[in-house]
Amino acid sequence: MKILGDDIFAKGSDGQPLSRIGTMFFRTPGLVTRRGVHAMQRVMWLDEINAGRAAQGRPALTPAEEDAEVAESVDLVFTEDLVLIRPNPDRMDLAFRADEELQKMVSKLAIRFLNTSSAKVRGALRERGENWRMARQPISQEDMAALINASKVPVGERPIYYYNRMTGTRFITAGMYREIENMPAEDFRRQIAEVVAGLGRRNRMGRPEVDLFPSVTPPDVKRMFLSLDVAGAGDAELKEACGRIAVAWRMALPAELRDESVDNFEWRNTMCHALTRSPNETAAEEQDLIAGIAPEFYRQIEWLPGARIDRGEVVFDTLYEEAARTGDPELAAVCDNRVKSFLFNTTRLFGEIDYINIGRIANSLARHPVAGNRRGNVYIMQYRETGSAEPKVQMIRLQKWGVSERLDEGKDLLQAIVETEEYSDYILDRRLMCRQLGMNLPRRLGYGHFTEKYSGDNRYNGSAVRTGYFVRAYIPGVASDKVPLQKYRNPAWAQRFAFLMGGAAAVDMLVGRRSSVTGELLFDRDYEVLQTGEDGFPAEVKITDHAGSFVNYKLDPAGYVAQYAAFAKRRERFVAEYRLFAQAYVEGFRRRLEEIKAAYLSRKAAFDGLFADRPYDTNGSGAYRWACVLDRLAKCDPARLAGILGEAAGC
């Protein structure tokens, strides 16, 4: 391909890029990088073609031919280290041709797409298995909170703004605005004058100096600010006018953004997005990549290169080949061979698939992660079967103790394999135990494995070993520990939620769910997902995973049931009527425990004989733990346990 101008990323003697834009042509293949705007680059290319034709004694292009040359072109934007393709959503074929040509010049990792706000652009990339090319980089909850807190800056007066360092815009929130209302008259006047001036100015990048948060704030609120006569109004008049603005602003805020706290997931996510947007935006929102995804997944999915399905054939992303050829550690970090294995298994099991995208959960989604929990062992998969209107979403979790982990303990390979297979059976047996005792788990769970090389200190280093994983459908809803805080202000809603969680707590207590590493309680730590009905009220609580079940299988529940009061106590300052809230929680607990006990006693033989064919070992086999839990259930007094829980909860 002929290049008219300097190479991409070429820099001058001052270290600055020689060109910030480019235009790629396909009818007569070429790339123009000479300085100018895209319209000028098109003229340059047409002049170049006509000069060549004149040298050959041929006539210049006709207007129709010139239009055809221009129609088969794509705009490019160059940053310090990226090439950005600006696609026409109706001609994504041209954008992908540009992508393929650019990969001959720069790494695919350095090529991104603009216009990801267009559903057509997102859909075209998604269907090529390339969610990874329009996803934001993951950031932990702690880092998000730190980013927001560190972004609070002043202009000349008080630090009431949140600053986006990439666009230069300072955001003011309704909550921060309310904080200045009680300032002395002169200080208040100066602060309001500063806000109004900032709202009316643009910075050197063409962005607002000051803007209202969130972006959905009606323009009328900004117009009310800009119409203020700050210098001419008296103190009382100015305060009154600003008071009207404050009321209008607060009334216009979505309910989920009224609590301005990093503990409010909706507000935190929206603010983080506002503070990290860049002038050349190439990233799409999580809900645009997966419709209906829960807010706790915001910036937590690290989408990875995978494959596209071309007429039924799996074509792996060229980035894998590039990583193998170059040995680039940055490429190796994003080319996860486990993703290739998941793709292999999925396409082998499902005959006709249009596309697949796989991402890795970069950080624990729990508000307060349990110490010792492994990260990077959970993946999310989005795929669409041929003929289906909507894609499906599944969660993939690697088996916690596999062959590699047992080899790390110094065990022989055969022993590691046998113990891993036994543990897989134990996991699935525990799932059946939990379902038998009423845990509301996903209806289906798949199991698969793949081969990978063991890398560790054992003498089997470099050997091929099998790694197991479990697959289940993504459960829509909101995790119990991430329910928007404003929901608790409705007593009826809060009490219904508490009642359902009380029932879930009863099952959790029975099956003895604990962290196998620390012994911590796992209840209300990200596994419980609340689903609401058409009326918006809580309908049921689904348990996404039975992890940690039967860790505690011997202790008398009277000694630890009080720990479950933490669910209610954590929400005490948010609920409108705490006593009724706590009572609903305890009542849900009591009723569910009574129901489970009655079910057991009425069909005791069916429960007792469920694992009669499994090894019974008092050192802790699954069958032995099952027997211990059933004995604990038979002996428990639901009313007494509910009384202990109620006392601990303060009701």
User: Does 251 score more than 80 pLDDT?
Assistant: yes
- For 263-292, write each residue's pLDDT tens digit: 888 899 999 999 998 888 888 888 889 988
State the pLDDT at residue 370.
54
pLDDT of residue 368: 55
Q: Which distant-in-sequence residues (6+ apart) come within 8 Å of 460 by Cβ?
A: 407, 413, 454
The pLDDT of 620-625, averaged and rounded, is 96
Angular region, 548: left φ>0, alpha ψ -120 to 50, beta rest: left
Please count the other Cβ atoms lying within 10 Å of the Cβ belonging to residue 302: 21
Who has greater pLDDT, 459 or 348? 459
Cβ atoms < 10 Å from Cβ of 547: 19
Residue 366's pLDDT band, with cuts at 50, 70 and 90, is low
- Mean pLDDT, to the nearest integer, of 321-325? 93
Taking residues 497-517, what's their average pLDDT?
96
Q: Which two tokens stand for residue 360?
A: 């890795």
Percent of the chain clearing pLDDT 90 (strictly above): 82
What's the pLDDT at 376?
66
The reply to whether 510 and 639 lie within a common domain is yes
Domain boundary pick from 80, 98, 115: 115
Mean pLDDT computed over 477-502? 94
Distance, C-alpha 608 to centroid of its chain: 42
Q: What is the mean pLDDT of residues 446-466?
A: 95
285 located within any domain: no
Q: Are residues 463 and 487 in the same domain?
A: no
Q: Cα–Cα distance between 36 and 51 in angstroms, integer?
A: 20
For residue 452, is it within any domain? yes
- Whole-number average pLDDT of the chain: 93
Do residues 322 and 443 share a domain?
yes
Q: Are 514 and 286 in contact (CB under 8 A)?
A: no
Tracing tokens 């103790």 back to the chain, one arrives at 401
Structure tokens at 239: 């305060």
User: Are 635 and 577 part of one and the same domain?
Assistant: yes
Spatial CB neighbours of 481, under 8 Å, sequence gap ≥ 6: 366, 367, 368, 524, 525, 526, 528
Residue 161 lies in a domain: yes
pLDDT digits (tens, 9 = 90+) for 177-225: 888 888 999 999 999 999 999 999 999 889 999 999 999 999 999 999 9
Q: Read off the pLDDT band of 15 (50, 70, 90).
A: confident
351 pLDDT more than 90: no
| Contact predicate 515/522, CB 8 Å | yes
Beta-strand (E) ranges in 362-492?
Answer: 378-385, 392-398, 446-453, 464-473, 478-479
- 3 state SS of 348: helix
Question: SS3 breakdown of the chain: % helix, strand, coil, rounded to 5?
Answer: 45, 15, 40
One-letter amino acid identity for 640?
R
Say yes or no: 550 and 503 in one domain. Answer: yes
Judge if 401 and 513 occupy the same domain: no
Chain-centre distance of CA 289, in angstroms? 10
3-state DSSP assignment of residue 472: strand
Q: Answer yes or no: do 160 and 86 share one domain.
A: no
Task: Give the count of domains, the chain.
Answer: 4
State residue 372's pLDDT score: 46
Whether residue 374 is predicted with pLDDT greater than 70 in this model: the reply is no
Residue range of the domain that includes 397: 290-473
Give how far the C-alpha of residue 639 lies from the chain's centroid of Cα atoms, to the nearest Å: 41
d(CA 644, CA 642): 5
State which of 47, 81, 115 marks the end of a domain. 115
**End-to-end alpha-carbon separation of the chain, Å?**
77
What pTM was estimated for this model as a whole?
0.87
Same domain for 260 and 171, yes or no, is: yes
pLDDT at 136: 86
Contact 40, 103 (CB under 8 A): no
369: pLDDT confidence band, cut at 50, 70 and 90?
low
Residue 122 lies in a domain: no
Same domain? For 466 and 572 the reply is no
498 and 597 fall within a common domain: yes
The span from the CA of 397 to the CA of 619, in Å, is 27
**Sign of the dihedral defined by the CA atoms of residues 345, 348, 351, 354, in that order:** positive
User: Average pLDDT of 381-410?
Assistant: 94
Whether residue 214 has a cis bond before it, omega within 30° of 0: yes
Model pLDDT, residue 182: 84
Q: Is the pLDDT of residue 86 over 60?
A: yes
**At residue 375, does pLDDT exceed 60?**
no
Res 129 pLDDT > 60: yes
Q: Over the Cα atoms of the chain, what is R_g?
A: 30
Q: Would residue 577 count as lying in a domain?
A: yes
pLDDT tens digits for range 517-569: 899 999 998 899 999 999 999 999 999 999 999 999 999 999 999 999 999 99
pLDDT in tens, 292-314: 898 888 889 999 999 999 988 89
Q: Say if CB 23 and CB 39 are below 8 A apart.
A: no
- Same-domain status, 461 and 512: no
Determine, yes or no, domain membership for 252: yes
- Domain assignment present for 150: yes
Q: CATH number, domain at 551?
A: 1.10.1070
Per-residue burial over 434-465, b if 16 or more Cβ lie within 10 Å, else e, is bebbbbbbbeebeebbeebebebebebeeeeb
Q: For helices 185-199 and 235-252, what crossing angle results, to 10°? A: 50
Question: 359 with 271, same domain?
Answer: no
Is there a domain that residue 126 lies in? no
- By CB atoms closer than 10 A (0-12, 13-18, 19+), residue 216 is exposed
Give the whole-number percent of the chain exceeding pLDDT 70. Answer: 98
What separation in angstroms does the CA of 17 have from each of 45, 113, 182?
21, 20, 50
Q: Are 360 and 379 in contact (CB under 8 A)?
A: yes
| Closest CA relative to residue 86, chosen from 116, 50, 114 | 114
Q: Helices marked H in 140-293 — which ranges?
A: 141-150, 174-179, 185-199, 219-226, 235-252, 265-276, 286-289
Would the pLDDT of 148 be above 80?
yes
Domain edge (last residue) among 473, 501, 520: 473
The pair of three-digit structure tokens given for residue 372, joined into one six-digit string: 């010792």
